[in-house]
Chain A
Amino acid sequence: MDFTLTAEEEAFRDEVRAFLAEQLAPGVDKADPGFLAGWHRAVREKRWVGFSWPREVGGGGGSLMEQAILKEEMAKARAPSLGSCFMGLAWVGPALIAYGTEEQKQKFIPDILDGKYQWCTGYSEPDYGSDLGSLQCRAVREGDEYVVTGQKIWTSIAMWSKWIILLVRTSLHEDDKHKGITCLLVEMDSPGIDVRPIRNMGGGAMFAEVFFDGVRVPVENRLGEEGQGWRVTITALAHERSGIAEVESLLRGLEGLKALAAETGRAEEPAVRQRIARVETRIQAMRLNGLRALTRQIRGEPLGSETSVNKLTRANLEVEMGDFALELQGAAGPLVAGAEPVADGGRWQRMALGWPEVVIGGGTPNIQKNIIAERILGLPKD
C-alpha cells in the first residue's frame, strides 16, 4: 500500500492546479455562456476532453491514475465539466472507439470532443427497464436501411439532443435474448420520431418518452455488427472507475450538512452529530473503495465488487443526506426555494426530490443487490 504520488503524477497534478487557478479566477461567472465557450476551448487544447481516449482519435491518451487526479482536482475546484456532451463522452465515444467504423469515428468523435451537440441514450422501454435484455423496440432491415418502430422511455435530455444511441431488436432467439439486439445511431430529427417530455416529481422535465414510427436509419449508422448491440453497450471500457468526482460532490454535500447543523443550532445534539459522522464515514468508505477499484484497474486485474458496492452506498447517501437536511430544517423542510425560511436557496429540497435520477438511473438498488448476490456471492439467478 502506498498513497503517495510519483514525481510525474505530482507534476501533472500541479499542472492541473495551475490551469484551474488561471481559468477559474475568483469572481468568474461559471454559468456565463461566453466563459463556458472559452473554458471548453482551453480544456480541449490541453487534450483533457476525452482524456483517456487514444490520441489518434483526438483524445488525450492519459493514464488511469492521471485521469483520477484530473477528476479529483476538477471536482475540488468546482470546475465546469470537462466537455459539454455528457453521454457522448461517457459511453457513445468509448463505444465508437471500440466498435465504430473509420467513417463513424471521423463523423462523430470530433463533434463529441468539441461538444457541438448532445447525445441521448435509448435503452429503457416501458415494459423493460431493469430487464433491459428483453427490449422490444423493433428494427427491420429493408435494403440499405433499418426501419425502427417502438418506444423508449426515461430518455434523459431527449428533447435537446441531436443524436440518440439506440438499442433495438433485430431478431428473436429462444436461447439468448441478448443475441437479437443491435445498436443504431439515429438522428433525432428523422421523420417518425416523436419526443414527449415527462414531468418528474420535482416539477422539472429532464427525461422523455421517445416514439419511433417507421423511422428509417441508414445501415452505415449501425454501431457494431447486427446482433452485437448488447456487447457494444456493456463493453468494459477503459475509463477510470474510482468514482472520485461523485465522492467529491458528496463531500461538498457533507460540508453543507455540517454548516446547516450549525446554522439551525443543532450541531450539539448527539443524534445529529452521529448521523453526520455516519454520512462522513460512508463517504470515506466509498472514496477508499474507489481507490481499491482503481488499483485493480491499474494492475490490469478484473474488477471486484467495489463499483457495485459504491453505487449502492451512493444511492443510500443521496437519499439520506437530502432527507436529513430537510429534517434539520424542521417545518421549513417541506417548503421550497422562494420561501423565506428555506436554507441554502432550496438546494436540499431539490436533493430530496431529485435523488431518483442517480438512484434509479443506471440500475435500481435492488438490481445492484441482485448483481452482487449473484456475481460475487454466487447465489442462483432469479
Chain B
Amino acid sequence: MNFGFTEEQELLRAEVRKWLDENCPMDEVRAVSEAEDGEGFSRDHWKAIAELGWLGLVVPEEHGGAGLGQVDLVVLLEETGRSLFPSPLLSHTVAAGALLTVAGDAQRTRWLPALADGSAIGTLAVQEEPAAPGPDGVRLEGVADGDDVILRGQKRFVPHAAAADLFVAPFRGGDGLALACVPADAPGVRAEDWPGMDLTKRLGRVSFDGVRLPADAVAPLDEASLQRILDLGTTALTAEMVGAAEGAVALTAEFAKQRIQFGSPIGRYQGVKHPLAEMHVDVESFKSLVYYAAWCLDESPDEAPRYVSMAKALASEAFARIGIDAVQLHGAVGYTWEFDAHLYLKRSKWARPMFGDSEFHYERVARLGGL
C-alpha cells in the first residue's frame, strides 16, 4: 500500500511548477485571458507545452505521446489549476482520452499524433443542454449515406470551441450511440465561443449542418464507454479544481498575514482563521478522493465511478464555497478587478456544473451505494 506519488511524479510536478512560475505568472494569466480579440490562451504557450510533452501525457508512445497514466495527469493538471493557466489543455486531454477509450486504428493514427504534438487542438463536444451530460442527452443526429455519415445538430458548452481543430462528438445514429471525429474545417461545421465569467476558460457552441464524415471518422460507442469518457473528463477537471482551490487558500492565507486591522494581522482573529482552516480541510478531503479516483480509472475500473462522483460532488461543493470565502475574507479589495481573489471565484463557478454538479454526483453516489 502506498498512497503517495513516485519520485518521477514529484519531478514532473516540479518541472510543471517551474515552467508555469517562469512563463505564466498571474500577470501573464491576465494578459492572455483579458486580451481583446484574443483566443483565451496563448499560441506560444501552446507550442511550448507541446514541446514539454504535456499535450501527449496520456497518449501512448506509439502515437507520439509519453504513455503515462491518470495519476500522472492529475499531477500536471493540479499545477495548471493552481496557476489558473489559460489553455485548452484540459479539454484537449479529455478529447485524447475519449479517442483512447473507443477509437479504432484509423482515428487513432489520424488524430493522436497531432494531438500529442499540438498541431491539432482537440476538444470533447459532448454536452447539448445546460444539465449534466450523459447518454440520454445525446441528440446530435447521424444519418448513414452510403459509407458516409451525415451529422445534423449541435453541441453546446464545448470548451474552446472556436480554437479547436477537432471535435470529438458523441452522436446518435441508426444503431445507437457512436463517436465522431469532426475536423473543424469540414464543410458545415461552425463554431463560436460565448462570453463567459471565467476568462481563462472558454465555452461555446458548434453546429453541424449536414457535415459529411467518412466511415473511418466514426467509432462505435456504448453507454458504458461514454460514461467512462465522462469519468475521465470529470477526474481531470477535479484535478484542476484541487490546484485552483489550493491556490485560492494560499492567496487568502497570505493576505490574512499581511493585512493589518486593529493593530494585528487579520489572520490572528478566529473569524478569519477558522474559515481558512475549513477551506483547507475541504480541499484536503476532495484531494484524496481525486487521487484515488484517478488511480481507480487505470487500476481498478469497477470502483472508479463511485469515487469519481464522490470527488466531483465534494469538489463542486467545496470549491464553490472556497471561491466565495476567498473574496469575502479579502474584504472590499476582494471585490475589485485588481486583486486576484475573483479569478478563483470565477473558476469555481465555471468548474461546478461541468460534467455534473454536486447534486448530480451525490445522486449517482447514492445510486451506486445501493440506495
Which listed residue, A261, A284, A369, A374, touches B310 by the CB 8 Å rule?
A284
Q: Nearest CB to that of A371 among chain B residues?
A: B277
Interface residues of A (CB under 8 A from B): 1-5, 9, 65, 68, 258, 261, 267, 270, 273-274, 276-278, 280-282, 284-286, 288-289, 291-292, 294-296, 298-299, 305-306, 309, 312-313, 366, 368-370, 372-374, 376-382
- Is B111 an interface residue when CB atoms closer than 8 A count as contact? no
The answer to whether B1 touches A295 (Cβ under 8 A) is yes
Interface residues of B (CB under 8 A from A): 1-6, 71, 249, 253, 256-257, 264-265, 267-268, 270, 272-274, 276-278, 280-281, 284-286, 288-289, 291-292, 295, 299-300, 307, 310, 313-314, 358-359, 362-363, 365-366, 369-371
Q: Nearest CB to that of B367 among chain A residues?
A: A273
Residues of B near A292 (CB, < 8 A) are 3-4, 288, 291
The answer to whether A370 touches B277 (Cβ under 8 A) is yes
The answer to whether A1 touches B270 (Cβ under 8 A) is no
The answer to whether B284 touches A276 (Cβ under 8 A) is no
* Given A261-B371, A278-B313, A379-B257, A285-B2 contact (CB < 8 Å): no
Residues of A near B1 (CB, < 8 A) are 2-5, 9, 65, 68, 291, 294-295
Residues of A near B288 (CB, < 8 A) are 285, 288-289, 291-292
The answer to whether B268 touches A381 (Cβ under 8 A) is yes
Residues of A near B365 (CB, < 8 A) are 277, 280-281
Residues of B near A379 (CB, < 8 A) are 253, 256-257, 265, 267-268, 272-273, 276
Please measure, in the bound complex, the distance between the C-alpha atom of A318 and the C-alpha atom of B265, giving whole angstroms. 34
* Given A273-B371, A377-B253, A305-B280 contact (CB < 8 Å): yes
Please measure, in the bound complex, the distance between the C-alpha atom of A33 and the C-alpha atom of B366, giving whole angstroms. 40
Q: Nearest CB to that of B368 among chain A residues?
A: A277
Which listed residue, A273, A284, A298, A377, touches B307 by the CB 8 Å rule?
A284
Most interface-central of A270, A277, A286, A369 (chain B CB within 10 A):
A277
The answer to whether A313 touches B285 (Cβ under 8 A) is yes
Residues of A near B313 (CB, < 8 A) are 277-278, 281
Which listed residue, B264, B265, B286, B369, touches A258 by the CB 8 Å rule?
B369
Q: Nearest CB to that of A3 among chain B residues?
A: B1
Residues of A near B267 (CB, < 8 A) are 373, 377, 379-380
Which listed residue, B5, B257, B291, B358, touches A288 by the CB 8 Å rule?
B291
The answer to whether A380 touches B295 (Cβ under 8 A) is no
| Interface SS of chain B | helix
* Min distance, Cβ A348 to any Cβ of chain B, angstroms: 18
Most interface-central of B1, B274, B292, B314 (chain A CB within 10 A):
B1
* Min distance, Cβ B224 to any Cβ of chain A, angstroms: 22
Which listed residue, B5, B249, B369, touches A377 by the CB 8 Å rule?
B249
- Contacts beyond the supplied A285-B286, A366-B274: 9 A-B pairs with Cβ under 8 Å: A258-B371, A273-B366, A277-B362, A284-B310, A305-B284, A372-B277, A372-B281, A379-B265, A381-B268
Q: Nearest CB to that of B300 among chain A residues?
A: A3
* Min distance, Cβ A268 to any Cβ of chain B, angstroms: 9
The answer to whether A281 touches B363 (Cβ under 8 A) is no
Most interface-central of A1, A276, A305 (chain B CB within 10 A):
A1
Please measure, in the bound complex, the distance between the C-alpha atom of A272 and the C-alpha atom of B2, giving whole angstroms. 35
The answer to whether A299 touches B4 (Cβ under 8 A) is yes
15 A-B Cβ contacts within 8 A?
A1-B295, A3-B295, A258-B369, A258-B371, A273-B371, A277-B362, A284-B307, A284-B310, A285-B314, A288-B291, A292-B291, A309-B285, A313-B285, A373-B277, A382-B270
Residues of A near B264 (CB, < 8 A) are 380
Most interface-central of A276, A291, A377 (chain B CB within 10 A):
A377
Residues of B near A381 (CB, < 8 A) are 268
Please measure, in the bound complex, the distance between the C-alpha atom of A305 and the C-alpha atom of B285, giving whole angstroms. 11
Residues of A near B278 (CB, < 8 A) are 369
The answer to whether B370 touches A258 (Cβ under 8 A) is yes
* Min distance, Cβ B367 to any Cβ of chain A, angstroms: 8
Residues of B near A9 (CB, < 8 A) are 1
Residues of A near B280 (CB, < 8 A) are 305, 309, 372-373, 376-377
The answer to whether A295 touches B281 (Cβ under 8 A) is no
Please measure, in the bound complex, the distance between the C-alpha atom of A277 and the C-alpha atom of B356, giving whole angstroms. 15
The answer to whether B277 touches A378 (Cβ under 8 A) is no
Residues of A near B6 (CB, < 8 A) are 1
* Min distance, Cβ B259 to any Cβ of chain A, angstroms: 12
The answer to whether A370 touches B273 (Cβ under 8 A) is yes
Residues of B near A285 (CB, < 8 A) are 285-286, 288-289, 310, 314
Residues of B near A312 (CB, < 8 A) are 277, 281
Residues of A near B359 (CB, < 8 A) are 270, 274
Which listed residue, B2, B253, B273, B371, touches A1 by the CB 8 Å rule?
B2
Most interface-central of A286, A305, A372 (chain B CB within 10 A):
A372
Q: Nearest CB to that of B364 among chain A residues?
A: A277
The answer to whether A369 touches B366 (Cβ under 8 A) is no
* Min distance, Cβ B9 to any Cβ of chain A, angstroms: 9
Residues of A near B256 (CB, < 8 A) are 379
Which listed residue, A277, A291, A305, touches B366 by the CB 8 Å rule?
A277
Please measure, in the bound complex, the distance between the C-alpha atom of A305 and the C-alpha atom of B249, giving whole angstroms. 15
Residues of B near A278 (CB, < 8 A) are 313, 362
Please measure, in the bound complex, the distance between the C-alpha atom of A284 and the C-alpha atom of B285, giving whole angstroms. 9
Q: Nearest CB to that of A316 among chain B residues?
A: B281
* Min distance, Cβ B356 to any Cβ of chain A, angstroms: 13
Residues of B near A294 (CB, < 8 A) are 1, 3
* Min distance, Cβ B13 to any Cβ of chain A, angstroms: 14
The answer to whether A274 touches B3 (Cβ under 8 A) is no
The 8 closest A-B pairs by CB, nearest first: A288-B288, A369-B277, A379-B267, A285-B285, A277-B365, A277-B362, A273-B366, A372-B277
Residues of A near B253 (CB, < 8 A) are 373, 377-379
